[in-house]
Each structure stands twice: as C-alpha cells, then as structure tokens.
C-alpha cells in the first residue's frame, strides 16, 4: 500500500490502468483527460508516448488546486507504423492481420504532475510482443466481442481473449497492460517522497 498526504488523480478511464494502480495499493480518483491522442510523426515512439502522457497529466492538473496527477499513454508499433485504438471493427481486423505471426513493440509512457508546485516527472518503457499466426476466424470472432475496440493495437493481454494470441514477450509484461509496474512504483514513490507527500509504503 502507498500512503500519500495529497489526493492522487488518474487521468485515464482505462480499467486496466486502474486495476494496476489498485494492485500496488494506491488509492486514487479517476478524472479522464480530454487530450486527443494525436501522434507527431516527426517524433520517435518514445517521445510520443512520453509527450502524450505529460499532456494528459497537465490538462487534468489544471482542474485541481492540490494533488498529484498521473498521465499515461500506450501505443503499438510495427514496421514503423503506430497502431492506436481502432476506429471500427474492420480497422481492428486489419490491425490483427498485420500483427499475426510477427513481432511488434508496445511503448507505454507515464507522467506525474504535482498540482501545487507544477513539478513533473516523465518516463517510458517498451516491450516486444510476438504473436502466433492467427486464423481469420479467430480474428473475426475476437473483434465481434467488441473487446479490441478500446485497445491500442486491437488486443488486450490481460483479462482478455487476446492473451491467447501472444506467443512470447521480451520486456516488462505490465508495459503491455498499461503501466510498467516496477518502474512506475519506484518512480512514483521517489517523486512523492521528494515532494514530502509520501507517508509510507507497505
């Protein structure tokens, strides 16, 4: 459990990210950001997830008088192409066909913003994911569930049928879920301690 002296706000409506924060014992409230997830093609994948995570955290921080805001962003990259959330079932099918039998990279950036001092912190992590070869029926059946439609790359690796598509990973599993937990935990507690907000961890 992480105990802080100020409110913690998660600038995301992702149930997977909320689950991960609860997993490490963090108490928080949810206030989704309205920042559009627009990729800057002149920037690297690392720069894009870091930039978007910070923009989301800063946008939500402006709505509060005190507290710490957590922003995050995840993208899937293959052949230099960024796969965000699909805009239709047909788009999701295209993405999954592209990922079938190949390795892609998942990037997750996270950012912290202290409302009072305006101090901030940003980091990112990446993990390589290899899919087995998928049949068209598997892809169609999965997309019909609707589950892929709110996920970068059109699949989920946790609590989702998409997990059976994954043959192996290289890197932090939790980066694919939504937060690189080990890096997030050590970064968050260090940032909170630096600000004098950390009351304790269990």
Per the CB < 8 A criterion, the answer to whether 128 and 171 are in contact is yes
- Under 8 Å between Cβ of 20 and 177: yes
Q: Is the dihedral of CA 137, 138, 141, 142 positive or negative?
A: negative
Of the residues 73, 87, 114, 160, only one is catalytic, namely 73
Q: Which residues of 148-165 are buried (b: 16+ CB within 10 A; e: fewer)?
A: beebbbbbbbeebebeeb
Calculate the alpha carbon distances from 103 to 19, 100, 174 in Å: 26, 8, 17
Judge whether 73 counts as a catalytic residue: yes
Q: Which residues are catalytic?
A: 73
């Amino acid at each position: 459990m992480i105990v802080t002296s100020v409110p913690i706000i998660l600038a995301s409506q992702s149930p997977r990210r909320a689950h991960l924060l609860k997993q490490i014992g963090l108490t928080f409230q949810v206030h989704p950001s309205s920042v559009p997830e627009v990729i800057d093609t002149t920037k690297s994948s690392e720069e894009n997830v870091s930039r978007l995570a910070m923009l989301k955290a800063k946008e939500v921080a402006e709505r509060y008088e005190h507290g710490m805001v957590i922003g995050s962003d995840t993208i899937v990259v293959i052949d230099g192409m960024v796969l965000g959330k699909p805009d239709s079932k047909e788009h999701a099918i295209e993405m999954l066909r592209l990922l079938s039998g190949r390795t892609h990279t998942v990037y997750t950036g996270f950012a912290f913003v202290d409302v009072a001092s305006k101090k901030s912190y940003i980091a990112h992590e990446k993990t390589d994911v290899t899919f087995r070869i998928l049949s068209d029926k598997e892809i169609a059946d999965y997309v019909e569930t609707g589950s892929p439609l709110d996920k970068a790359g059109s699949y989920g690796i946790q609590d989702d049928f998409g997990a059976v598509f994954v043959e192996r990973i290289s890197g932090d599993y939790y980066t694919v879920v939504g937060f690189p937990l080990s890096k997030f935990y050590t970064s968050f507690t260090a940032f909170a301690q630096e600000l004098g907000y950390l009351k304790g961890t269990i």
